[in-house]
Structure 1
């Protein structure tokens, strides 16, 4: 004999999960200030393929240095 799950129990569990997950903070993102002195200097960005498309693989190569030399 199969037992049925009470729909009120499912609704209560879903509501509790929603209440617990909603307050999660999003990542704070800011634009860089032009002319500011940052510890890493980006010297180039290469995007391949040149024309990216949804669902297709792509590669971003970022050249940068810290001015501290190699490890």
Structure 2
């Protein structure tokens, strides 16, 4: 019986490490995002047109953005 208990403990330990590695996996793929300061943003938006206006839930909508940059 003692051997069976040791095997069970080993299996539980291995499954615990496996589950822990699955929890840590997404953090390895994470990307840091840093937003630009608005006064240094290179694009100036002049307007946004939305069609249809008002937008209807479940139907397609088009957003047209007019913008320019200093470059």
Give the TM-score taking structure 1 as reference length: 0.48
Say which one has the larger Rg: 2
Normalising by structure 2, what TM-score?
Answer: 0.48
More helix by percentage: 2
